[in-house]
Amino acid sequence: MLEINGLVAGYGNKIVLRDVSLSIEKGELVCLLGPNGSGKTTLIRAIGGFADVFKGRILLNGKPLLEMSFKERAKKIAVVPQNTYVEFSYRAYDIVMMGRLPYLSRFRRESEEDREMVRRAMEMTETYNLRERKIDELSGGERQRVIIARALAQDPEFLLMDEPTAHLDINYQIEIFSLTKKLRKSTGILCSIHDVNLASEFADRILMMRDGRILAEGSPEEVLTEENIKRVFKIDAKVSKNPFTGRIFVSRIPKRSKRVEKRVHVICGGGSGIEIIRKLWEEGVDVSVGVLNVLDSDHEFARNLNIEIIEEAPFSPISRERAKMNEEMMEDADVIVVAPFALGKGNLENLKSTLKFVGKKRIIVMDGPPIEERDFTGGEGKKLWEKIREGALRVRGVEEIIKILEGEE
């Protein structure tokens, strides 16, 4: 067990951590959650030996860690630092072998056991096939796995990771965390992270930090409350359950101002409307959308903002009935906005409805990819769209729409 009591730590004469206490059991994945500058990195460095400890105790299985030599410590605790970029062309294998440094005698070569540990660590992280590659030529995800392998080669009791996914694409993020979860079988893991939902998905326990202190501690369900998130991150959030994982899911609630009092109906689909809907909503516009299929990303987004939606069953073409409801909505709106969505047989109805209002209502068409690239109706959609465009204002971005709305007041 790793136990920390009343830890005050920082660098030189600067205090970053103020009175931090926590404990981690073997087999546990604990996530440190907090905004930038909250002290996550310093906590990890203090345990790893890179930050200065001014006060407090760190006990490893009851033994004081701070009294151990650097070597002894490195046998018990391994750290994956935040920046793992290596500017020198070492082989991946050599990097992982550096994890054996605390075990190697200065005057002796690496033993069979060392090579075995390195092989195992690389297999566990699926990097053994990369062993002859140069570290500076690997992708971000590959490199991160090699660095984790280096930490594993230290055969540590506890593994500390500082934002292991900070600079990675989403697919790598999931990959690294799935790996991390696997590793927890043999070690206790303390992992700092600033993505609330990744923490919720993978952590056994979460510690929330702010200003060098731990503000909340417990299971994701206990810790990830709307109040805690407001206290730590200073944002309004909505806590729900991720329908796929059953884990707590936190979404940020955008701030809304009541500035532009207009009714706007947005014709969109496939994510083309998200940006438009969000900006209009934030400016206080009374937004409605239609017709959208349930499960369409625009639909998901609009639903979360509690916006009025004319919806159709998933993956079904728009029925006449729904189109009519849509036209009623347009009738009520001050302005109709057409997003650059992809045209298919199923949603052509939306353009036909819009065409009826050309000349009667203010219509705004937003530019996007060329119409030829998003028309999958064999030309019919393109014709309709061009007719609408002739009777409409054309804009390039949402900002322009807002200006037009403001100008009409």
Partner 1 sequence: MRKIILFLLAILLGVIILSLLIGSVRIPPEEILKVLFGASTNDNYRRIIVEVRLPRILMGVFVGASLSISGAVVQAIFRNPMGDPYILGISSGAAVGAVLALALFPGLLSISLFAFLGGLLAVFIVYEIAKTNGRVPIDTLLLSGIAVGSFLSAITSVIMYLTGNYHNAISWLLGSLRNPSWSDVTVMLFVSLFGSLSIYFFSRELNAMLLGEETAVYVGIDPEKLKKLIMGLVALLTAISVSFTGIIGFVGLVVPHMMRRVVGPDHTILLPSSLLFGSTLMVLSDLLARNIIEAEIPIGVITAMFGAPFFIYLLKRGRF
- Site residues (CB under 8 A) for partner 1? 12-13, 45, 48-50, 52, 69-75, 78-79, 81, 83, 86, 88-90, 94-95, 98-99, 101-102, 104, 106-107, 150-151, 154
Question: Per the structure block, which two tokens stand in for 313?
Answer: 């069953």
Q: Which two tokens stand for residue 121?
A: 């660590």
Smallest separation (angstroms) from partner 1 to the CB of 67: 14
Least separation in angstroms between residue 80's CB and partner 1 is 8
Three-state secondary structure string covering 277-303: HHHHHHCCCEEEEEEEECCCHHHHHHH
Backbone angles phi, psi at 131, to 5 degrees: -60, -30
Query: Parallel, antiparallel, or unpaired: how do β-strands 188-193 and 393-395 relate?
Result: unpaired
Cα separation, 58 vs 324, in Å, equals 69
Q: How far is the CB of 42 from partner 1 (least distance, A)?
A: 12
Alpha-carbon dihedral sign for residues 73, 78, 80, 85: positive
Q: How far is the CB of 160 from partner 1 (least distance, A)?
A: 9
Closer CB to partner 1, 72 or 308, in the complex: 72
Smallest separation, CB 279 to partner 1 (Å):
42
- CA–CA gap between residue 50 and residue 36 (Å, rounded): 19
Closest CB to partner 1 among residues 98, 174: 98
Q: Which is nearer to partner 1, 75 or 362 (CB)?
A: 75
Q: Least CB distance from residue 79 to partner 1, whole Å?
A: 4
Distances (CA, A) of 18 to 5, 43, 44, 55, 319: 11, 10, 14, 9, 62
Instruction: Look up residue 193 and give its two tokens.
Output: 């992270």
Query: Quick one: 12 or 246, whose CB is closer to partner 1?
Result: 12
Smallest distance, Å, CB 84 to partner 1? Answer: 8
As measured in angstroms, the least distance from the Cβ of 364 to partner 1 is 49
- Name the minimum Å distance from CB 153 to partner 1: 9
Report the residue count for the chain: 409
With respect to partner 1, which residue has the nearer C-beta, 1 or 98?
98
| CA-wise closest residue to 30 among 157, 200, 207 | 207
Which of residues 76 and 205 has its CB atom nearest to partner 1 in the complex?
76
Amino acid residing at 260: V
In 295-402, the DSSP E strands lie at 308-312, 335-338, 362-366, 393-395
Q: Cβ closer to partner 1: 88 or 244?
A: 88
Distance CA 288, CA 309 (A): 6
Q: For residues 39 and 340, which CB has a smaller minimum distance to partner 1 in the complex?
A: 39
Strand pairing report for 77-80 and 29-33: unpaired
Reference 343, options 325, 363, 370; nearest CA is 370
Closer CB to partner 1, residue 86 or residue 274? Answer: 86
